[in-house]
Structure 1
């Protein structure tokens, strides 16, 4: 969250990528500066917390060289440079280390190792999701979706925006009036024109997505209902009336895409199927029309999924 009165330049300075700037100086700096940068990059923990004298001694350079490096990277002085070093470690320290080999992987070929990791992660994500939904009143949620005069689905970011668009894809074919918004400004604006009888559905893995939280709060201010798929107890969960709890646990493999996406898709399908069953046989006509519309593309096999 931005600090009140803070300028855009100050916000940018707070989130500067010092690692990228150090690597740039490694290519363009003078010999002493390059030696200093190499020393810093080799042990960021030390550079972030050691004294200037200790950093200079380890790199074999003078203390003014450290000051010149800080200013060459756009910082007022060494204090700010070290602050951003500590910030870089806190935010992305795991990505600055070479991933360790997992015991048991040594004898596996790349294809077998990758397939096992991705498939195993998907299974684990689905099992966690299944356990989290054991006590959820899914029937009540499905009734709210089925009865809504209009449904707006919100999600910001990679996984959540994918889930929002996919839920729209699942619900419109049931004959429901549904629109997904992944743009933060559109989320807030569209929520401001809602009224009683409408429903917003929000997705956020962390429950911290500011635009989705804002949109849910705005919509409820005007009488709309709110259902969210997110972590229980998160800010987004606290802003809504109904929560489909999202539970996930990453395995620490930084090279593998997050398995939480599979659980998100399961949540989408769970809501869609529960809604279809709540509506009942009436949805079959909508589904038939969708299937018929695909005949022009020679997709005539009834066993193929609708929409390819």
Structure 2
């Protein structure tokens, strides 16, 4: 079965919601094969469940099956794309493509990100009496990494990545505190709820995301938006995650340099503590 032809055939008799989904797919079938169900739903102005039901109505077992069918029936199909890596590529070629995509994202983000916005983000981090970092799934790893770096230079920072705890923890923030939300899509429910709670308590809000029109960005006092070819196209935000880390590492390096001797002493002490712990454990 060719799902693309079937969509065209059934289009006249579809409901208005189904036609909006079909329009997104027919406009660019190749792009549709790289979309998540949530992204396609947002593009069509429907719910994710409606997209799944649309796929089922075509006789397919869900949205993933629809994407596979579309890809297999596209002219020139050679394999599914993971950041442009194809099934025919060697491991070295895959690594090369990932490195090229990461470098492009780094360069584009450096070009597009506003210096005043970066300065505002750094100021919020340096002046906050308490900082909480929120992130879910892959963004939880970014939050934990940022916590390790910012903590070592002496900032009063905590990473709260448990979705059941984050909102409670955010409720303890107040004026002079900072809530930092990290999310590729900017739509993580637990992160948004924590940020909204912190903001209601008078805390400042800062976000790192890939989508400027996301709920997280709109909720934040200061928003840092990275640039990546994955935006709207990829199932896994691998390169975007690296770029989120880069932005946070850049801020950490800047703040460490501004704090000078204080941060150096903190990092030296951390190194000594880690070294003594490793010697004691025999590592």
Q: Mind listing any 5+ residue stretches in structure 1 that lack a counterpart?
A: 1-41, 52-79, 299-308
**Count of matched residue positions in the alignment of Structure 1 and Structure 2:** 226
Report the Cα offset of residue 239 of structure 1: 0.5
Q: TM-score with structure 2 length normalisation?
A: 0.68
SS in 2 for 1:282: helix
Q: Does 1:198 align with 2:198?
A: no
- In structure 2, the CA distance between the partners of 1:133 and 1:211, relative to structure 1 (3 Å rule), is same
SS in 2 for 1:154: strand
- In structure 2, the CA distance between the partners of 1:126 and 1:88, relative to structure 1 (3 Å rule), is farther
- In structure 2, the CA distance between the partners of 1:95 and 1:264, relative to structure 1 (3 Å rule), is farther
CA contact (8 A) 2:184 2:237 kept: no
SS in 2 for 1:169: helix
Q: Mind listing any 5+ residue stretches in structure 2 that lack a counterpart?
A: 11-51
SS in 1 for 2:238: coil
Report the Cα offset of residue 253 of structure 1: 9.0
Q: Which residue of 2 aligns with 1:84?
A: 56
SS in 2 for 1:259: helix
CA contact (8 A) 1:138 1:274 kept: no
Q: Which residue of 2 aligns with 1:154?
A: 134
Q: Which residue of 1 aligns with 2:154?
A: 175
The one of 78, 90, 114 aligned to 1:100:
78
RMSD: 3.3
2-side partners of 1:257 and 1:202: how far apart?
A: 16
Show the 5 A alignment for 1:294-305.
294-296=274-276, 297=278
CA contact (8 A) 1:136 1:244 kept: no
Q: TM-score with structure 1 length normalisation?
A: 0.63
The Cα offsets for residues 65-116 of structure 1, whole Å up to 9 and x where unpaired, read as xxxxxxxxxxxxxxx97663459665664344355269xx99x861332121
Report the Cα offset of residue 198 of structure 1: 1.0
CA contact (8 A) 2:120 2:222 kept: no
